[in-house]
Amino acid sequence: MNKFLKEFKDRGFFYQCTSEEELSKLLNKEKINSYIGFDCTAESLHVGSLLQIMCLRLLQKHGHRPIVLLGGGTTRIGDPSGKDKTRKILIEKEIDKNIKNIEKILKNFLDVKNSKTKPIFVNNYSWLKGLNYISFLRDIGKHFTINKMLSFDSVKTRLEREQSLSYMEFNYMILQAYDFLELNKKKNCALQIGGSDQWGNIINGVELIKRYSNKQAFGLTTPLITLASGAKMGKTEAGAIWLDKKFLSSYDYWQFWRNTDDRDVVRFLKVFTDLEINEINNLQNKNINELKVLLANKATTMLHGKKAAQDSEKAAKDAFSGNSLGSSLPSIKIKLKDFKNKINIVDLVILSKFENSKSEVRRLIKGNAIKIDDQIITHEKFIVDKQVLNKNYIKLSIGKKRHLKIELN
């Protein structure tokens, strides 16, 4: 088996493949261009997209060139795959802003200096915006049958549930197939990689290339990553785990990985770090908490850099030992005068963005889960004011693992 495909499987990336044996032969023979597409429906990706990013890194590791398709065109329509209702339609300015920020995030993960494997960034709006409807139906639409389009899960599920599916969304699969055809023609792209929910769309692209150009192309899908608890990867009770530090600090990102369920740690070391498989297998008997710290450090270094990972580990140790309010702990500044020199504990927690529901904050207070400077807050009417302060900052803690330095002035 080809080395790339072997590692793809060993790391748990593999779900389905079209013509696996033929793909293996091609990869043994030459270095290829392979693409993964990303929706631009938000300003940042979250860890739910991280498996696809790791696939891009693996392509580079084995000498192949990744193509990153940012869906400036298809985002204007919305992918119905895995959705039970029509996505919100974004205005062009929002989409353009999202594209710029997502590209910036992805460059944190990818090697942009190696001329042989440097990623190619493309926006499918560049070829979709100028399509002539009549020509597109005649040249591309003729290769798709309604019978087959209705059989795909993204369509069938919505119809079976009697949920509306717009004609606009129905066309999404044709446009994604056309993306693959365009990249095959213009960038010599031979492989599309995507999540298992994209299998039907990928098959459409492979078949369209065969019919239109008489060339062989390939599709490869990854499994849906779920936690040992059964929950979907990407979100916590506190919200999405964003890959942009504007929305989630490097400390909170580190903590997300540090708090991984014991049952998921070894698997996540394989999926979400670059540690070699043999090295991970040799680590399996180590203390589970040491492995969690290793996972957190490797994952955080990849996105935010080594110093951010080291600072986060130190801040976590300091917070746990009660030493802490060093520069490593994430912090926010609040002007008490904006609140008439006093602020209720519930409002303070909401302002910290630890929680976004006042009822949840009150529940945490009742459970003795909220502390100011390591002192348990027992009443929801507790007021932080000048009398509480003997310094210009406090440490706000939610449970044992969430801590924030609040500078008050």
Minimal CA–CA distance to 128: which of 76, 184, 64, 163? 76
**What's the token pair of residue 16?**
């389905």
At 317, list the tokens.
């140790």
Spatial contact of 317 and 51, defined as CB atoms under 8 Å apart: no
Architecture of 3-222 per CATH?
3-Layer(aba) Sandwich (3.40)
For the cut 60, the answer to whether the pLDDT of residue 385 exceeds it is: yes
Average pLDDT over every residue of 63-92: 78
More confident residue, 89 or 7: 7
Q: What is the C-alpha separation between 165 and 297, in angstroms, rounded?
A: 43
Q: What per-residue confidence (pLDDT) applies to 199?
A: 92
CATH architecture of 249-321: Orthogonal Bundle (1.10)
Mean pLDDT for all residues in the chain: 88
Residue 82's contacts (CB-CB under 8 Å, 6 or more residues apart) are: 154, 197
CA 39 to chain centre: 11
* Residue 223 scores a pLDDT above 60: yes
Residue 225 — very low, low, confident or very high, per pLDDT cuts 50/70/90?
Answer: very high
pLDDT of residue 80: 58
Task: Using alpha carbons, select from 239, 243, 403 the residue that is nearest to residue 312.
Answer: 403
Asked whether the predicted pLDDT for residue 378 surpasses 60, the reply is yes
Q: Is the pLDDT of residue 237 over 70?
A: no
pLDDT at 3: 97
How much is the pLDDT for 389? Answer: 58
Query: How confident is residue 87, by pLDDT bands cut at 50, 70 and 90?
Result: low
The CA distance from 323 to 331, in Å, is 16
What percent of the chain is predicted at pLDDT more than 70? 90
- Provide the sign of the torsion angle of the four alpha carbons 332, 338, 343, 348, taken in this order: negative
Between CA 201 and CA 97, with CA 271 as vertex, the angle to 5 degrees is: 55
List the Cα angle 178/80/177 in 5-degree steps.
Answer: 10
What's the number of CA atoms in the CB half-sphere (13 Å) around residue 110? 28
Nearest to 41 by CA among 81, 89, 105: 89
Q: Which long-range contacts (CB under 8 A, 24 or more apart) does 302-308 make?
A: 302/108, 302/109, 302/273, 302/274, 303/108, 303/109, 303/243, 303/250, 303/253, 304/108, 304/245, 304/250, 304/253, 308/250, 308/254
- Choose from 196-210, 227-241, 375-389 the range with maximum mean pLDDT: 196-210
pLDDT, one tens digit per residue, over 20-59 is: 999 999 999 999 999 999 999 999 999 999 999 999 999 9
Q: Does residue 270 register a pLDDT over 90?
A: yes
What's the CATH class of domain 331-408? alpha beta
156 pLDDT band, cuts 50/70/90, is confident
212 and 188 Cβ atoms separated by less than 8 Å: no
User: Comparing 88 with 200, which gets the higher pLDDT?
Assistant: 200
Cβ atoms of 365 and 375 closer than 8 Å:
no
pLDDT band for 407, please (50, 70, 90 cuts): confident
| Cα separation, 91 vs 328, whole angstroms | 38
Task: Please give the Cα distance from 401 to 407 (Å, whole number).
Answer: 20
Pairing of strands 342-344, 383-385: antiparallel
User: Is pLDDT of 88 > 80?
Assistant: no
Q: Which residue has the higher pLDDT, 93 or 407?
A: 93
pLDDT of 207 higher than 70: yes
What are the boundaries of each domain within the chain? Answer: 3-222, 249-321, 331-408
Q: pLDDT band at residue 218, thresholds of 50, 70 and 90?
A: very high
Position 181 confidence tier, pLDDT thresholds 50, 70, 90 = very high
